[in-house]
Chains A and B, each alone.
Chain A
Amino acid sequence: DSGVTQTPKHLITATGQRVTLRCSPRSGDLSVYWYQQSLDQGLQFLIQYYNGEERAKGNILERFSAQQFPDLHSELNLSSLELGDSALYFCASSRRQSNAPDTQYFGPGTRLTVL
């Protein structure tokens, strides 16, 4: 158990809908990262937040957005869902109190199925 929690574990929804994935980082970690794992793209970095502020962006679609709240939990919002958004979404967290690279610890993931 990494100490990173994600809810829900599974999510089944229809095309065009909107969903919210939630992540709670390890105690004391200030940075949260979101990754998408799909069969065709593999593991892809989406976005990073540090202490409430966006710090880095990867190949995140405009239909996707995220935020980190004052209690440091994070939410990833996916809207206008398409079949191709079906994937495993991971959250990771790290201490990251400086600009130096840090170890990221991953949650169990949320499996999203879009029908």
Chain B
Amino acid sequence: AQSVTQPDIHITVSEGASLELRCNYSYGATPYLFWYVQSPGQGLQLLLKYFSGDTLVQGIKGFEAEFKRSQSSFNLRKPSVHWSDAAEYFCAVIWGNQGGKLIFGQGTELSVKP
């Protein structure tokens, strides 16, 4: 069955520390991968996406993600977290044979300590 897993429900990091949010997917078809961020009371903002090509993709706000097909993963990273990064982060996948349906992970809530 199609699924997207974000193993960490909640992560707390100190401001200035590095960050890695994990995302794994399962299914056989070609995945098209996204990371979205949702601030409290806000909609979903696209951080970055991977369709093909270079497996390391750069996004907005200093985020990057790496697609590793062998591990079925698309982890999100940031070298130095800012207090304004506190939000909920969603990994999402469109499978190539499933039209435009985005399948979301459960989300990871990020808290930033001063």
Q: Do A and B come from one complex?
A: yes
Chain A interface residues toward B at CB < 8 A: 2, 4, 31, 33, 35, 42-45, 48, 55-56, 58, 90, 92, 94, 96, 99, 101-109
In the complex, number of A-B residue pairs with CB atoms less than 8 Å apart: 58
A43 / chain B contacts, CB cutoff of 8 Å: 90, 92, 102, 104, 107
The 8 Å CB contact of A105, one of B46, B94, B96, B107, is B46
Contact of A48 among B32, B96, B100, B107 (CB under 8 A): B100
How many residues of B sit at the interface, in one of the four size bands? 20 to 34
A58: B residues at CB distance < 8 A:
101
Q: Closest residue to A50 on the B side, CB-wise?
A: B100
Chain B residues whose C-beta falls within 8 Å of the C-beta of A96 in the assembled complex: 100
Provided the pairs A101-B51, A108-B43 are in contact, do residues A55 and B102 lie with their beta carbons within 8 angstroms? no
